[in-house]
Amino acid sequence: MGSTGAERLLNVVDVEATCWAGGTPPGAVSEIIEIGLTVVDLAAGERLARHRILVRPVRSRVSAFCTELTGLTQDEVDAGLGFAEACRLLAKEHRAGVRPWASWGDYDRHQFTRQCAATRTPYPFGRHHTNAKAAFTGAHALRKRPGMARALEIAGLPLEGRHHRGEDDAWNIAALVLHLSERGGLPDPC
Protein backbone atom coordinates (compact mmCIF):
# COMPACT_ATOMS: atom_id res chain seq x y z
CA MET A 1 0.00 0.00 0.00
CA GLY A 2 1.34 3.42 -0.91
CA SER A 3 1.83 5.99 1.82
CA THR A 4 0.87 9.17 0.01
CA GLY A 5 -2.36 10.86 -0.99
CA ALA A 6 -5.40 8.88 -2.03
CA GLU A 7 -3.48 5.60 -2.13
CA ARG A 8 -3.81 5.19 1.62
CA LEU A 9 -7.45 6.31 1.83
CA LEU A 10 -10.37 3.91 1.78
CA ASN A 11 -14.08 4.68 1.54
CA VAL A 12 -16.24 2.55 3.83
CA VAL A 13 -19.81 2.51 2.53
CA ASP A 14 -23.09 1.36 4.05
CA VAL A 15 -26.50 1.81 2.45
CA GLU A 16 -30.01 1.67 3.77
CA ALA A 17 -32.78 0.79 1.34
CA THR A 18 -36.55 0.70 1.36
CA CYS A 19 -37.76 -2.47 3.05
CA TRP A 20 -40.95 -4.05 4.34
CA ALA A 21 -41.95 -6.41 7.14
CA GLY A 22 -43.59 -8.78 4.65
CA GLY A 23 -43.01 -9.10 0.95
CA THR A 24 -42.30 -6.27 -1.44
CA PRO A 25 -45.53 -4.42 -2.33
CA PRO A 26 -46.75 -4.85 -5.93
CA GLY A 27 -44.86 -2.55 -8.31
CA ALA A 28 -42.28 -1.53 -5.70
CA VAL A 29 -38.56 -2.31 -5.65
CA SER A 30 -36.01 -1.93 -2.90
CA GLU A 31 -34.18 1.36 -3.46
CA ILE A 32 -31.28 3.04 -1.71
CA ILE A 33 -32.50 5.80 0.61
CA GLU A 34 -29.30 6.56 2.54
CA ILE A 35 -25.62 6.23 1.72
CA GLY A 36 -23.28 6.39 4.67
CA LEU A 37 -19.60 6.89 3.90
CA THR A 38 -16.59 7.07 6.21
CA VAL A 39 -13.16 7.93 4.87
CA VAL A 40 -10.40 5.89 6.52
CA ASP A 41 -6.67 6.58 6.44
CA LEU A 42 -5.23 3.08 6.66
CA ALA A 43 -1.65 4.28 7.06
CA ALA A 44 -2.50 6.56 9.98
CA GLY A 45 -5.03 4.09 11.40
CA GLU A 46 -7.85 6.59 11.78
CA ARG A 47 -11.30 7.50 10.58
CA LEU A 48 -11.06 10.91 8.94
CA ALA A 49 -14.57 11.95 7.97
CA ARG A 50 -18.14 10.71 7.93
CA HIS A 51 -20.76 11.58 5.36
CA ARG A 52 -24.44 10.99 4.79
CA ILE A 53 -26.27 11.22 1.48
CA LEU A 54 -30.05 10.92 1.55
CA VAL A 55 -31.55 9.50 -1.63
CA ARG A 56 -35.12 10.02 -2.83
CA PRO A 57 -36.79 6.76 -3.92
CA VAL A 58 -38.96 6.81 -7.05
CA ARG A 59 -40.41 3.27 -7.24
CA SER A 60 -41.09 2.63 -3.55
CA ARG A 61 -42.03 4.33 -0.30
CA VAL A 62 -40.53 4.18 3.17
CA SER A 63 -42.67 1.74 5.14
CA ALA A 64 -43.44 1.95 8.86
CA PHE A 65 -41.17 -1.10 9.28
CA CYS A 66 -38.34 0.71 7.46
CA THR A 67 -38.78 3.80 9.64
CA GLU A 68 -38.72 1.67 12.79
CA LEU A 69 -35.54 -0.08 11.60
CA THR A 70 -33.59 2.90 10.24
CA GLY A 71 -35.24 5.96 11.76
CA LEU A 72 -35.66 7.38 8.24
CA THR A 73 -39.03 8.76 7.19
CA GLN A 74 -40.58 9.34 3.78
CA ASP A 75 -40.55 13.11 4.36
CA GLU A 76 -36.85 12.98 5.19
CA VAL A 77 -35.84 11.02 2.08
CA ASP A 78 -38.17 13.08 -0.13
CA ALA A 79 -35.73 15.95 0.51
CA GLY A 80 -32.80 13.80 -0.65
CA LEU A 81 -30.99 13.67 -3.97
CA GLY A 82 -32.05 11.61 -6.95
CA PHE A 83 -30.11 8.35 -7.24
CA ALA A 84 -28.11 9.44 -10.32
CA GLU A 85 -27.16 12.70 -8.61
CA ALA A 86 -26.07 10.80 -5.49
CA CYS A 87 -23.85 8.56 -7.64
CA ARG A 88 -22.30 11.62 -9.31
CA LEU A 89 -21.64 13.10 -5.86
CA LEU A 90 -19.92 9.88 -4.76
CA ALA A 91 -17.69 10.00 -7.84
CA LYS A 92 -16.89 13.71 -7.70
CA GLU A 93 -16.61 14.55 -4.00
CA HIS A 94 -15.61 11.16 -2.58
CA ARG A 95 -13.46 9.86 -5.45
CA ALA A 96 -15.50 6.65 -5.47
CA GLY A 97 -14.29 5.64 -8.92
CA VAL A 98 -10.60 5.71 -8.00
CA ARG A 99 -10.47 5.20 -4.24
CA PRO A 100 -10.76 1.61 -2.99
CA TRP A 101 -13.84 0.90 -0.92
CA ALA A 102 -15.18 -1.58 1.60
CA SER A 103 -18.57 -2.64 2.88
CA TRP A 104 -19.87 -5.17 5.39
CA GLY A 105 -20.69 -8.06 3.09
CA ASP A 106 -21.69 -7.78 -0.55
CA TYR A 107 -25.22 -6.42 -0.12
CA ASP A 108 -24.19 -2.78 -0.64
CA ARG A 109 -22.17 -3.56 -3.78
CA HIS A 110 -24.97 -5.66 -5.25
CA GLN A 111 -27.64 -3.06 -4.40
CA PHE A 112 -25.63 -0.40 -6.26
CA THR A 113 -25.09 -2.75 -9.21
CA ARG A 114 -28.82 -3.57 -9.46
CA GLN A 115 -30.02 -0.01 -9.02
CA CYS A 116 -27.47 1.42 -11.46
CA ALA A 117 -28.50 -1.15 -14.09
CA ALA A 118 -32.23 -0.53 -13.50
CA THR A 119 -31.86 3.26 -13.77
CA ARG A 120 -29.11 3.31 -16.41
CA THR A 121 -26.89 5.22 -14.02
CA PRO A 122 -23.11 4.85 -14.33
CA TYR A 123 -21.75 2.70 -11.50
CA PRO A 124 -19.87 5.14 -9.23
CA PHE A 125 -17.29 2.79 -7.72
CA GLY A 126 -14.00 1.40 -8.94
CA ARG A 127 -13.18 -2.29 -9.02
CA HIS A 128 -11.21 -2.38 -5.73
CA HIS A 129 -13.81 -3.55 -3.21
CA THR A 130 -13.19 -5.33 0.09
CA ASN A 131 -15.86 -7.47 1.70
CA ALA A 132 -14.98 -6.58 5.30
CA LYS A 133 -17.36 -9.22 6.67
CA ALA A 134 -15.50 -12.02 4.85
CA ALA A 135 -12.12 -10.57 5.90
CA PHE A 136 -13.25 -10.34 9.54
CA THR A 137 -14.56 -13.91 9.49
CA GLY A 138 -11.24 -15.19 8.16
CA ALA A 139 -9.08 -13.08 10.47
CA HIS A 140 -10.98 -14.34 13.51
CA ALA A 141 -11.27 -17.94 12.23
CA LEU A 142 -15.04 -17.89 12.65
CA ARG A 143 -17.30 -20.55 11.14
CA LYS A 144 -20.20 -18.14 10.57
CA ARG A 145 -20.03 -14.61 9.21
CA PRO A 146 -21.23 -12.28 11.97
CA GLY A 147 -23.40 -9.24 11.56
CA MET A 148 -21.76 -5.89 12.17
CA ALA A 149 -23.02 -5.52 15.75
CA ARG A 150 -21.76 -8.99 16.70
CA ALA A 151 -18.40 -8.31 15.03
CA LEU A 152 -18.00 -5.17 17.13
CA GLU A 153 -18.57 -7.29 20.26
CA ILE A 154 -16.00 -9.85 19.12
CA ALA A 155 -13.47 -7.08 18.43
CA GLY A 156 -14.18 -5.40 21.78
CA LEU A 157 -15.37 -2.22 20.06
CA PRO A 158 -18.44 -0.13 20.98
CA LEU A 159 -21.40 0.27 18.65
CA GLU A 160 -21.55 4.02 18.09
CA GLY A 161 -24.82 5.68 17.04
CA ARG A 162 -27.89 3.91 15.71
CA HIS A 163 -27.61 0.46 14.13
CA HIS A 164 -29.21 0.37 10.64
CA ARG A 165 -28.46 4.03 10.02
CA GLY A 166 -26.09 4.24 7.03
CA GLU A 167 -23.90 7.02 8.38
CA ASP A 168 -23.48 5.34 11.79
CA ASP A 169 -23.02 1.85 10.33
CA ALA A 170 -20.30 3.09 7.94
CA TRP A 171 -18.55 4.69 10.94
CA ASN A 172 -18.73 1.40 12.90
CA ILE A 173 -17.64 -0.71 9.92
CA ALA A 174 -14.69 1.67 9.50
CA ALA A 175 -13.67 0.85 13.10
CA LEU A 176 -13.80 -2.86 12.20
CA VAL A 177 -11.73 -2.21 9.06
CA LEU A 178 -9.08 -0.48 11.18
CA HIS A 179 -9.21 -3.38 13.65
CA LEU A 180 -8.57 -5.76 10.75
CA SER A 181 -5.78 -3.58 9.39
CA GLU A 182 -4.03 -3.54 12.78
CA ARG A 183 -4.24 -7.35 12.94
CA GLY A 184 -2.96 -7.76 9.39
CA GLY A 185 -6.29 -9.28 8.38
CA LEU A 186 -7.34 -6.70 5.80
CA PRO A 187 -6.60 -7.64 2.20
CA ASP A 188 -4.71 -4.93 0.30
CA PRO A 189 -7.55 -2.94 -1.32
CA CYS A 190 -5.30 -1.25 -3.89
Nearest Cα neighbor of 35 from 101, 99, 100, 98 is 101
pLDDT digits (tens, 9 = 90+) for 52-90: 999 999 999 999 999 999 999 999 999 999 999 999 999
User: For 32-82, where are the alpha helices, taking DSSP H only?
Assistant: 64-70, 74-78
Reduced to 3 states (helix: H, G, I; strand: E, B; else coil), residue 17 is strand
Nearest Cα neighbor of 167 from 47, 80, 38, 43 is 38
CATH number at 5-183? 3.30.420.10
pLDDT digits (tens, 9 = 90+) for 13-42: 999 999 999 889 999 999 999 999 999 999
> In what helix (H) or strand (E) does residue 133 lie, and over which residues does it extend?
helix 132-139
Q: What is the pTM of this model?
A: 0.93
- Asked if residue 101 has pLDDT above 90, the reply is yes
